[in-house]
Amino acid sequence: MTKMTLGSYPHMLGFEQLERLLERTAKGSEGYPPFNIEQTSDHSYRITLAVAGFAETDLSITVEDRQLVIRGRQSDDGDGRIFLHRGIAARQFQRSFVLAEGVEVGEAVMENGLLHVDLTRAQAETIVQTIRIKATHGKETS
């Protein structure tokens, strides 16, 4: 069976980058930390990550090449402590979310072990462009 790509569709011009984004996103889908994505209005979203045990200073949020990247790195504060069982490890993570054109990252808030990141999508204007057709009258010589 042949793999269909966006380039296989002759009416889909200039979508090669979208295909690369989809492939890159599919590769980085580990399960930690768990997250929710909710639509909060017609033009806004909220991503919520369960980051219990992380302080605000342990987290970073960046936008890189139309990707929202959330990283977490806990400092190991176990100096001088003796654990009989250690089930809560200082674990680092990186979560990436591909942002569509026009989606902007807004506020980020920590609340009860949850990190909320708000996103808004600008409403696209409908633009109608008329292309003038030039008429040529016979062959021109140089």
Q: Give residue-wise pLDDT tens across range 23-71.
A: 666 655 568 899 999 999 999 999 999 998 899 999 999 999 889 999 9
Q: What CA–CA distance (Å, rounded) separates 88 from 122?
A: 40
- E strands, 5-113, in order: 35-41, 44-50, 59-64, 67-72, 93-98, 103-111
Contact 69, 93 (CB under 8 A): no
Model confidence at 136: pLDDT above 90: no
Rounded distance between C-alpha atoms, residue 47 and residue 38, angstroms: 7
Q: Name which of 72, 77, 63 is nearest 110 in CA terms.
A: 72
Residue 60 or residue 13, greater confidence = 60
What are the angstrom distances between the C-alpha of 31 and each of 17, 68, 79, 93, 102?
26, 17, 29, 10, 27
What domains can you pick out in the chain, each with its CATH number? 31-76+88-123 (2.60.40.790)
Q: What mean pLDDT is reported for the chain?
A: 83
Model pLDDT, residue 110: 97
Residue 29, pLDDT score: 54
Both tokens of 123, joined, read: 């409403």
Distance from C-alpha of 73 to C-alpha of 90, rounded to nearest angstrom: 8
Euclidean distance between CA atoms 82 and 91, whole angstroms: 18
